[in-house]
Each structure stands twice: as structure tokens, then as C-alpha cells.
Chain A
Amino acid sequence: MKTRKWPNFLFKQGGMYPYYESDWSVLPPEANRRFNPAFNMATIKQVVNEAIERVRMPTPMRLRDLIRQIRAARTAAEERSVVNKECAYIRSTFREEDSVWRNIAKLLYIQMLGYPAHFGQLECLKLIASSRFTDKRIGYLGAMLLLDERQDVHLLITNCLKNDLNSTTQFIVGLALCTLGAIASPEMARDLAGEVERLMKSPNAYIRKKASLCAFRIIKRVPDLMEIFLPATRSLLSEKNHGVLITGVTLITEMCENSPDTLEHFKRIVPNLVRILKNLILAGYSPEHDVSGVSDPFLQVKILKLLRVLGVNDVEASEAMNDILAQVATNTETSKNVGNTILYETVLSIMDIKSEGGLRVLAVNILGRFLLNNDKNIRYVALNTLLKTVHVDTSAVQRHRSTILECLKDPDISIRKRAMELSFALVNSQNITAMMKELLVFLEKSDAEFKAHCSSSIVLSAERYAPDKRWHLDTLLNVLVASGNYMRDDVISSTIQLISESVEQQGYVTAKLYRALAEDLHDRQPLTQVAVWAIGEFGDSLVQDVVDGIEPPNVDDVIELYQKLLWSTQNSVITKQYTLMSLTKLSTRFNNTSKIQQIISSFCSSLHIELQQRGVEYSQLFGKYSHLRPALLERMPQMEANRQTDYQSNGDVSDNEVSPQRTANSESVTLLDLLGGPDDNADLDIIMQPKSQPTSNGNNQDLLDLLGLNPLPAPLADADNNVDRILDNNINNLMPEINTRNSNFLNDGLFGDEGTINETDVPELTAYDKNGLTVMFSLVRLPNSDNMTINVTSTNHTQMEITDFLLQVAVPRTFQLQVLSPSGTTMQPNGKVTQVLKIVNTSRNLLKMKVRLSYTSEGSSIQDQVDVNHFPPDIWD
């Protein structure tokens, strides 16, 4: 095209140009009639070249400029102003006839940017009505973009279309058909169906194919009009031209889907279709229709689809196509997407028609091969198709189970999703153990968005196909561990229910749950909730029975774990409620209750009202009402609910579960008043943030106000009782715990040799020593001054790295405290962090201090708090 210098018409008579059929690029020398050497050749050449350039550089300068301007706009507002200016200009120049098509071109560009351009509709019609092809071409393009079947200028455009459908220029007819195919409204379709039908019989293939698709579109809009086209349709299949063939097949497919009668009518063409398809496969290489070694895949796919429509539920028709489907399935080159496209369509057809068993196996095997394909798109369609066919022929799909399971590891998320759905569809009582192994691995590694769906599906499958209770419980346990927090609530209750039902397995499950919990304290609310429920119920067997040859944990370890759970900031309030309830229950299962009591009473001052209430009420069970405790905290009766029913039953279960707590609650509601209400106890959580700047006094007031109150939690009133028990047990073990309480005067006296209080002349003391972490204070005081500097040295004696170490300190209001930045937040094993505290004591009171520590070790974050009250009393002297 671009090499041609002289337009044909210079050498021809004007009129119609049959370019399409003839080879347009060859200049027939005998057509050189108009050429007149008398003209100045140079002038003519220049004028002609300029004219051609205007077309070849198809966007006229003004449009190019506009596009450039819009592209240069840096902000949306700038772009808008360019567009608005241009729209105004276009409106004003629509009246000048010769600029119309340029304006429409501009408008179409503006419309694509998302601006309204409907005011150009009538101008489009003007262009369409023009006699020039150039005008019509852009006019119809504009009509297709600016109008659609809901516009009311239809009467006008219908007339234009009718004229152009009768044009003698094939391209004008083509434009009209194309436009009708794009924007045919029902009225337009009715008005022009006759014209289209006439054009379907045109001798010109270019027009025939366009008319067929136009008919396709008309039938889609107005199914009643189908009858008109029926006679002209059948002959389309005897064509050689692939364009006419493919449009004919498309039209017939639409007709068949449209009415059962027509479907019956076209059953006769199955042999024709089979023949066309066979010719396509067997014909040698034809460059015109070849796509990477496959002959016209577009046509093949359309024919396969029509065969499917004709063969559904029809044994006879299906039989007629069995052979050709087998042939396509075995002969198609599969190294490229095209080949697989055809195979894919073939498989769909084989699955839908009444095909032979062997052919179906072949089809499923093709999909199996697809699953191994490198192309992710092909793997995707394979999984999708298998998912559709799995209910028809499960056993054939089962054979590809391992490949499907492999797809669970696919890098593409949509493929993984399909593979997961398909895997669950394949689970049955024979393969459940093997499948679940894979699916649990998948669950563990999968993205958050899959976990809820996957865990619920595993629970459902396990419920349906579990070989035994032990396996079922193990599976649920694994789900709890693997899915973290991404789990539907029903899994928690149904797991608890199952544990409650499975009397023989309770000890085993509790031990497993305990181990899973102890292994990793990370944020996993569902696991924690189920685990503490089970431990609370069956804690006695947990610390006695040997499970799987592993020694039971000792009581102190269990309680320490509870303490960590309750202190962890990651655990939700609900989890902490479960944990508190469970811990209370453990007080009747374990023979060591003092530590439990201590932990529970620490919640008497929790900032969270529900936890505080539990703390206070459960504490009552250790005091005045301790005789009620064993009876109140008995094991839950075995839950009776129908498995595999609905969530209703699960709801009942959780109701049962909380009922003892409720009774306990109501019993002790009045006690709360006696205890003085929550306000008095609310100070425990008030701690100053360490800052490198001295904290302002005003800031401290409120904090220290609360700190100054510092009352004892009520249950500690029976301290005698407490000490007795402590003496019964391992004293050293409990030492640091005792320091955390305010009521440690007695204990300090008892265990004074353990601490540093007696060594008043050495200005160094241990503020904290627990879990391998020590915090030493060394006190330096300038003589005759109110100022004291405390050099804090924290040492990590564990084998693990401690990270995110944070030390927070609060002092009563009579002191001024300045906390300097620490030397770091990370401690290697045996590493140290130092920090300087500066204290001004004008009143010379006894120094008291609250210290809160938080740090992360082995991935779990730990928080602890101590009161440091054992400063040497003579330090200020």
C-alpha cells in the first residue's frame, strides 16, 4: 500500500472500483486513458502527493494537534479544559460542511477519554448521508461508537442504512452491515431483516459473510425474525470461502440454541459438518488459513461447538460424530496454544454429547495432559473443565488426582483455587487420608484468602469420610494449627463438640493440643481457644498420662503457659476469657492452686471490664466460696448434638459450655460491690513510656495519682492461707512471683536471703529475675543531693535472642523521673542492654517503682510487670 504513488482512478474511468476482487496494486497500463502530458507534471504530482499524504497520515493535523495537546496535559483539570475548549470549537464549526469528518474524528477521541460527545450524533448521520466513502467510513464508525440501540435517532439511521445496503460498492454495503451488526435495535432489526436476507444470497462473498453475522445479531435481538433467514442459511455450508463458512456455522449455532425445532431441522447437516472438519484436518498446508501448523482453528472450533449443540442428548447424531471427534483428539498438534484450543473444544464436545466410553476416557486424559502443560492458561481451563465433568465421570478424573494435587502448588493463584475446589470434589472414603495430607500441607502454606474456605472444606470432608475418631480429631487439630486465625467460627465449636463426644480420645487430644500450644505461642486464636477448653476440662489426665511415649508436662509448666497466654497482647479478649475460665477449672484438677489463684486475682484489676469481672468472680471461688469450687467446676457433661447437622446445634453447644460460667457470674455479681468496684483496681496498666526527654510533671500527675492509690486486690486479704501453700511447695520456684505482688512484706522477710534487700550497703539490687532475664539496678547518688541515677543493666541468660526489649518505669508522684534511651532493644544470649534512669526525690520518701518489661523471644512476645519496693531505705540518708 505504502509503495504506490499514483492512484488508480487517474488511469480509469470514474465510478465503482472493484478493488477487492482484483489485485489492486497492479496498475493496468491500458487504463491510462485520462493521462494528459500537456499538464504540468510537477504541479499535478505535488497536488496528488499532498492529497494522498492527507489520507495516509490519516489523522488530519488538527486531530493530531488535539491528541498531542491532550497527552501533554499534566493534570486532569488541564485535560478537561483542553477538551472543553475543543468541544466548543467543534460545535461552532459543525456548520462548515467540509470540516465535519475531521470534527467527528476528534469527537471520537474525546469520547474515548470518557467525555460526553453525544452532541456529535446528528453530525455522524450527516456524514453517513454523504456520497463520499471517506465521510461514510468515519460517519459509520462514529455511529457505532456514539449511538447504540437505545438512541432515538434510529429512524434517520435506518433510512441511511437501507440506502447503503443497496449500494453497488461492496465496501459501503459492508460498512452498513457492520454498523447494523453493532447497533441493531429491535425496530431496526425488523425494518432491515429483509435487506439482510437478500444480501445473504449475494454473489459477493465479502457481503455474504457480513450479512450472515448481521443475521446472527438480528436473531439474537429478535428471535422471532429467525424464520426469514432459514432458507438462505443452509446453502452457506456448501461454501469454499472460510469467511462465509465460519459465519454460517455461527449463525446456525445461534438458530439451534434458539429453538428446538430448528435444532431438529439442522440435525441433517451433521454429515456436512463432519466432512468440512475432516477436510480441514486432512487438507495439506494452506498458508491462508494456517495458524502455527493448524488449519483454520477458528473455523474448527466453531464447527466443534455446533456439533456439540447438535449431539447433546441425541444418540444417533452423537454416533455420527464419534469418529471425527476421536480423529481431532488424536491428530491435533499440541505444541502450541492453537492446538490446545481445538483439543479443549473437542473435550467439551465429547463430554456433552452421548459419546462412547472410550472417547470420554480419552477426553479426560487430554485434560490430564493439560494439567502438566507449561502454559498456565491451559492448566486453568483443564481444571475448570474437570471441575465441570467431575460429577459426570468421577472415576476417570480420579486417575489424575496426583496431578491435580500438584496444581495446589502452582504459582498462579486462580489455578490453586481451582485445584483446591477440584481436590475437595474428589475426596471420598477411600482416598481421604492421602488427600487430607496434601490438603493440610496446602492449608498451611496457602494465602490467607483460601484458609477459611479450605479449613471449612477439610472439616466437612473429615466429618463425612473420617475413618475413625482418632484420625478425625488429628485432622481437626492439624487444621487448627495450620489455618491460624483464618477460620470460620463453626470449626471451633464443632471441634470442641467432637472432643466432648470422643470419650476415649480426650486424654490424647488434650496432650496433643497442649503440645501444639506450647510449641508456638503465636497468634492463633482458634487453636488457643480449643486447646484451653480441652486442658480446662481434662487437665488432670494431661499431667498424668503418658501419650505417644512422651512424658506429661508438669503442673508448673502448664500454669506458666497460661500466664503467657493471659499476658500476651496478641490474644483476643475472647481467647483470654476462655483461658481464664479454663485456668479456674484447672484449680480443681491440679493440686497446686496458689499460683492459679494469683494469676486470676491479677485480673481483678484488668482494664477490660469482662476480664476484670471474671477475675473478681473467679477469685471469690478461692476465698469465701472455695467449698463450692469443685462442684461448680466439674467437667462439662458430654455434648449431645447431631453431627453433620447445622450451625444451630453448634450454637447450643456453646450455650451449654458457658452456662456454668454464667451461674458463677450471677452468683458473684453482688460481690463486685463489696470489692470496691473496678476503679480502685484500674491502676495496674498505667505505665509511663520511657522517653529520652524528661517527662513533664503535668503529664505525670494523672498516672501517678492512680499509682499512688495502689490498693491490694481483695482476695489477697487471706494472705495467711496463701503463705501456707507457698511453703508447701517449692519456694525458690515461686520467688519471683511473690515479688510481683504488693503484699510481699511478709514474704520479703521470709525469703530475704534470696534478694538483695539486706545488703543495704551495696547500692545494687535485682529488680527482675525470671525466665532467664535479669534486670539489675545499680544506684548512684550524689552526696547531699536529691538526685539519684539508676544504671539499669538487663541481661539475657537464655540461649535465645531477645528482641524488641522495652523497659517501662513508673514512680509515685512525689518523685521526678527521667528515663534515657536504652543502649538497644536486642539482646543476644548473654547479651546486655543498659539504660539510665534519673530520679529526683525532694520529699525523701521511700522509693517505690513499677517496672514493666516486654520483649520477644523465640517468636513469642512476653510481657511482665513487677513492683520494685525493696530499695534500700537508707539510700536517701
Chain B
Amino acid sequence: MQFMLLFSRQGKLRLQKWYVAHPDKVKKKITRELITTILARKPKMCSFLEWKELKIVYKRYASLYFCCAIEQCDNELLTLEIIHRYVELLDKYFGSVCELDIIFNFEKAYFILDELLLGGEVQETSKKNVLKAIAAQDLLQEDEAVEGALRDIGLL
């Protein structure tokens, strides 16, 4: 996978993950072009489009579009499964996720994605393992926060 974009029905970018190096200008141009192209497509159309050398796979969940760019030899149906898996993970983590969760907790959304994919490839196929890893890291943060707070009041 070359990159993943999340954007709203209004065309606002909500999350971007690049697995290839492009200058910012190019990234912006690609993002803009893809958002316009995909938003212009009708719901009856299939989830794939050919775009330059890449295959674009996208799927809409509520008000959010999830869009991945994959290489010619990649399996587009599997990419739909990956997108779905990511949505399931977000849903489990936030508890029926909505667009606002991702806007206000975008860093969490990135953390989850980074436990599912690495370098654009699937690293973990078990939902439970991904969520466990995220929860454990959240715990580390909580502990650090509590430790700091107790230190502040002189308990530690």
C-alpha cells in the first residue's frame, strides 16, 4: 500500500498516512485530486478506480471515506478487508466510532493504524492483539500521568 487517506463527505482530510516519500506539494496535489474524483463518484459505482499507475480502493463508512492506493499486483478486494478491519478496530476502541472521534482524537486513530499496518503491509491479523497493544500503551501513558501528578503533590 502506498498511502491511506481518510476524508469527510465535505472533502476535509481527516487522516493521512504515507508509506512512500513524496514532497509535501505532491502529497497535497494527490490528496486534492483523489478527494475530488472519489466524491464525484456515484454510490452505484464500484469501489475501485485506476489512477495513474495505481489502483485506488475506497469505501465510505457513514460520513467518512477511507481511501487506499495500492500497487497493480495487490489484491483490491483484500484492501477492502483491511479498510474494514481498521474501521472495526476504531469502532471497538472508541465504542461506535464517529467522525468526531477521529477529528478530536486523530493521534489515537494513527496509533491504531500503526499497530495494524507497518510500511503499508498488514502486521497483525488478530483484532484482539491490536487492541491489547494499544490499551497497554495507553496504560503506560496513564501511569506516567499519575506518577507525575503524585510527584507534584509530593506523594512520590
Residues of B within 8 A of A337 (CB): 77, 80-81
The 3 closest A-B pairs by CB, nearest first: A19-B136, A51-B149, A217-B119
Indicate whether B122 reaches chain A with its CB closer than 8 angstroms: yes
Total interface residues in chain A, CB < 8 Å: 94
* A window 40-74: CB within 8 A of B: 43-44, 47-48, 50-52, 54-56, 58-59, 64, 67, 71
Give Cα A651–Cα B126 distance, bound, in whole angstroms. Answer: 65
Given A52-B146, A141-B110, A296-B125; A181-B118 close (CB under 8 Å): yes
Query: Are the CB atoms of B78 and A51 closer together than 8 Å?
Result: no
Closest to B127 in A: A288
A870 at the interface (CB under 8 A from B): no
A171, B137: Cβ atoms closer than 8 Å: yes
Decide if B114 touches A114 in the complex (CB within 8 Å). Answer: no
Could you mark each residue 108-152 of chain A with 1 if its beta carbon is under 8 Å from any beta carbon of chain B, else 0? Answer: 110011101000000000000000111001100100110011100
What total of A-B pairs shows CB separation below 8 Å? 225
Q: Bound state CA distance, A52 and B146, in angstroms?
A: 6
Q: Shortest Cβ distance from B118 into chain A, in angstroms? A: 4
Q: B142 contacts A55, CB within 8 Å?
A: yes
CB of B91 closer than 8 Å to a CB of A: no
- At the interface, is chain B mostly helix, strand, loop or mixed? helix
Chain A 231-260 interface mask (CB, 8 Å, partner B; 1/0)? 000000000001100110010000000000
Is B48's CB under 8 angstroms from A289's CB?
A: no
Instruction: Select from chain B the residue with minimum beta-carbon distance to A301.
Output: B78
Of the A-B pairs whose beta carbons lie under 8 Å apart in the complex, a sample of 21, sorted by A's number, is: A47-B153, A47-B155, A48-B146, A48-B149, A52-B145, A54-B145, A55-B141, A144-B110, A171-B140, A213-B123, A214-B118, A217-B118, A217-B119, A247-B123, A289-B126, A291-B81, A298-B122, A298-B125, A341-B77, A341-B80, A414-B45
Contact A377 B123 (CB under 8 A): no
**Closest beta carbon of chain B to A135's beta carbon, Å:** 9
B35-81 interface with A by 8 A CB criterion: 44-49, 73, 75-78, 80-81
- Chain A residue contacts of B77, Cβ below 8 A: 337, 340-341, 344, 377-378, 381
Given contacts A133-B144, A297-B81, contact A178 B21 (CB under 8 A): no
- The reply on A307 being an interface residue by CB < 8 A is no
Interface residues of B in 105-124 (CB under 8 A from A): 105-108, 110-111, 114, 118-119, 121-124
Which of B17, B78, B119, B132 counts the most chain A CB atoms within 10 A? Answer: B119
CA distance A413 to B45 in the complex (A): 7
- Say which residue of B104, B147, B155 sits within 8 Å of A39 (CB atoms): B155
A residues contacting B by CB (< 8 A) are: 1, 7-10, 14, 17, 19-20, 24, 39, 43-44, 47-48, 50-52, 54-56, 58-59, 64, 67, 71, 105, 108-109, 112-114, 116, 132-134, 137-138, 141, 144-145, 148-150, 169, 171, 174, 177-178, 181-183, 185, 206, 209-210, 213-214, 216-217, 220, 242-243, 246-247, 250, 288-289, 291, 296-299, 301-302, 305, 337-338, 340-341, 344-345, 348, 376-381, 411-415
If A376-B44, A380-B48, A413-B45 touch, whether A243 touches B133 (CB-CB below 8 Å) is no
Mask of B1-44 contacts with A, CB within 8 angstroms, 1/0: 00000000000011111110111100010000000000000001
Nearest A residue to B80 by beta-carbon distance? A337
Residue contact A301 to B45, C-beta cutoff 8 Å: no
* CB-based contact B124/A243 at 8 Å: yes
Q: Tell me, in angstroms, the Cα distance from A409 to B121 when the chains sit together.
A: 37
Q: Report chain B residues within 8 Å CB of A105.
A: 107
Known: A7-B139, A67-B104, A209-B124. 8 other contacts (CB 8 A): A10-B146, A55-B141, A137-B137, A137-B141, A243-B124, A302-B122, A341-B78, A414-B48
Chain B contacts for A246, CB-based, 8 A: 122-123, 125
User: Shortest beta-carbon distance, A376 to chain B, in Å?
Assistant: 4
**Contact in complex: A381, B142 (CB < 8 Å):** no
Interface hub of A58, A214, A302, A413 (most chain B Cβ within 10 A): A58
Report the minimal beta-carbon distance from B54 to chain A, rounded to whole angstroms.
Answer: 14
Minimal Cβ-Cβ distance residue in B for A98: B148
CB-CB < 8 A to B21: which residues of A? Answer: 148-150, 183, 185
| Known A-B contacts A9-B147, A213-B119; A24 and B135 likewise in contact (beta carbons under 8 Å) | yes
Does A55 lie within 8 Å of B45, measured CB to CB? no
Q: Which residues of B contact A289 (CB under 8 A)?
A: 125-126
- Provide the residues of chain B in CB contact with A217, threshold 8 Å: 118-119
For residue B98, CB closer than 8 A to chain A, the reply is: no
Among B143, B148, B155, point to the contact of A8 (Cβ < 8 A): B143
Q: Which residues of B contact A112 (CB under 8 A)?
A: 13-16, 106
Cβ–Cβ < 8 Å partners of B97 in chain A: none
Inside 8 A of A345's CB, which chain B residues have their CB?
A: 75, 78
**Bound-complex Cα distance A337 to B82 (A):** 12
Which residues of A sit under 8 angstroms from B22, Cβ to Cβ? Answer: 148
Which single residue of chain A is at the shortest CB-CB distance from B28?
A114
Residue of B nearest to A344 (CB): B77
Pair A59/B80 contact, Cβ less than 8 Å: no
Residues in chain A near residue B107, CB distance under 8 A: 58-59, 105, 108, 138, 141
Contact of B125 among A137, A141, A242 (CB under 8 A): A242
Most chain B beta-carbon contacts within 10 A, residue among A14, A250, A377: A377
Contact for A109 among B73, B106, B150, CB less than 8 A: B106
- For residue B114, give the distance in angstroms from its CB to the closest CB of chain A: 5
Within the complex, the shortest CB–CB distance from B119 to chain A, in Å, comes to 4
A849 to chain B, nearest CB (A): 53
The CA of A411 and the CA of B23, in the complex, are separated in Å by 39
Q: For residue B125, which residues in chain A have a CB less than 8 angstroms away from its CB?
A: 242-243, 246, 289, 296, 298-299
Q: CA A430 – CA B77 in complex, angstroms?
A: 35
Contact (Cβ within 8 A) B13 A113 = yes
A88, B129: Cα distance in complex, Å: 41
Contacts of B14 in A (CB 8 A): 112
Q: How far is the CA of A338 from the CA of B75 in the complex (A)?
A: 11
Of the residues B110, B129, B138, contact of A1 by C-beta under 8 Å: B138
What residues on B are CB-neighbors of A56 within 8 Å? 138, 142
Contact of B144 among A132, A144, A377 (CB under 8 A): A132
A242 and B126 contact, Cβ closer than 8 Å, known pairs A48-B150, A183-B21? yes
A4 to B135, CA, bound (A): 11
Q: What's the Cα separation between A19 and B148 when bound, in Å? A: 20
Taken together as a complex, chains A and B put the C-alpha atoms of A182 and B119 apart, in Å, by 5
Q: Measured between C-beta atoms, what is the minimum distance from B65 to chain A in Å?
A: 15
B140 / chain A contacts, CB cutoff of 8 Å: 17, 19, 133-134, 169, 171
Residue contact A134 to B133, C-beta cutoff 8 Å: no
Determine whether the beta carbon of B145 is less than 8 Å from that of A55.
yes
When A20-B136, A112-B13 are in contact, do A178 and B142 touch as well, CB less than 8 Å? no
